Amino acid sequence: MEKEESTGNGALVVQPPQAVAVMPGVSTMALEAATKAFQDVRKFVASILVENHDYGQIPGTQKPTLYQPGAQKIIRFFMARSEFTIVDKIEDYEKGLFDYNVRCDIIHIQTGNIISSALGSANTYESGFRWRQAQRKCPECGQETIFISKYENKETGFKDFYCYGKKGGCGAQFAHDYEPITSQQTGRVQNPDIADQKNSCLKRAEKRAQSMAALNLGCISDLFTQDLEDFQQHENTKEPPPKQPEISEADHAMKTSLKYYIQQLAELDSVKPDFIFQKLMGNSKAMVKHIDLSNQPGQLDQLREAHKSAYQQIVDRLGDIPND
Ligand SMILES: [Zn+2]
């Protein structure tokens, strides 16, 4: 990989042109130029990712999902590393509830600057952790490889159970009403080893934060669904996500420039773009509180207006944008 190439492209993302003001009355041309630069970076980053390795389409989803190798590739491309901080957690062994809120900072190795940052969370009440798909367990060998025969038993007329050798079972056969099998609970059952899932839950929160931070870094978050990599493992127990409405090209461009706008707001406010975006989308009270706490009093009113106007534009044009 060419060093010059990557630094050149990286710089566009990390430090958008300072001449572009973000307050109402911003010059359209400046915004257009910025948007163009922004899209060039998107294209380039998207082009270094390899389908089915760095990202892929998971059945039941509308957008491709960024896998961990893809996220790591983007981070390496920007010559950066990830650092994780647990910002909030619940560890309740009694209730079996573990809940982690993790921040991933992407740190430019040479300068030590944080060039992207995102939050990710996971908790053990998510269906993938809390439930497991229970199969009938063989009373002989203990494997979960009991199936019901396709054929009726010639003597009883019932379809019996058998332990399937090709799936690792012992081949034993059992009557259709064999109590040690029929009494077993199948389907979705609560995971008994929930405390053991603590660590994988934390890992998942980290992975989500890292994916989001990498996507923000490459300006490509709207091309991807970021947190569904674990979807496959839990396909049986997780509801497919609702279909997202189709977004027209105009709306897409709008959304892209709004993201840029949000990034600029974040810079002025010295917070992460992710924070602004989430707050615009969600909790506006917390946003106002945050602004009031900010130590840039001269810019407060302008910022408030800008936030309001950005939010209004989002709502007017797109309704609720799915939070990618
Ligand atoms: Zn068996």
pLDDT tens digits for 2-32? 333 333 333 333 333 333 344 455 566 666 7
Rounded to whole angstroms, the Cα distance separating 281 from 26 reads 22
Q: How many CB atoms lie within 10 A of CB 86?
A: 12
Burial class (CB within 10 angstroms; exposed 0-12, middle 13-18, buried 19+) of 243: exposed
Flag residues of the chain having pLDDT under 70.
1-31, 33-34, 37, 127, 192, 194-196, 226-324
Statement to judge: residues 67 and 125 lie in one domain: yes
Rg (C-alpha) for the chain, rounded Å, is 25
**pLDDT on residue 276:** 59
* CA 168 to ligand 1 center in whole angstroms: 8
Statement to judge: residues 160 and 269 lie in one domain: no
Structural domain boundaries enclosing 53: 49-130+192-238
Statement to judge: residues 58 and 205 lie in one domain: yes
Statement to judge: residues 199 and 64 lie in one domain: yes
**pLDDT on residue 324:** 39
Statement to judge: residues 316 and 256 lie in one domain: yes
Statement to judge: residues 88 and 55 lie in one domain: yes
Q: Token digits for 205?
A: 């929160």
Of 6, 35, 28, 7, nearest to 255 by C-alpha is 35
Statement to judge: residues 148 and 219 lie in one domain: no
* CA 182 to ligand 1 center in whole angstroms: 15
* CA 177 to ligand 1 center in whole angstroms: 16
Q: How many domains does the chain have?
A: 3
* CA 58 to ligand 1 center in whole angstroms: 33
Please state whether the predicted TM-score (pTM) of the whole model is above 0.85.
no
* CA 131 to ligand 1 center in whole angstroms: 24
Statement to judge: residues 62 and 199 lie in one domain: yes
**pLDDT on residue 209:** 92
Statement to judge: residues 321 and 252 lie in one domain: yes
Statement to judge: residues 277 and 233 lie in one domain: no
* CA 142 to ligand 1 center in whole angstroms: 6
**pLDDT on residue 54:** 85
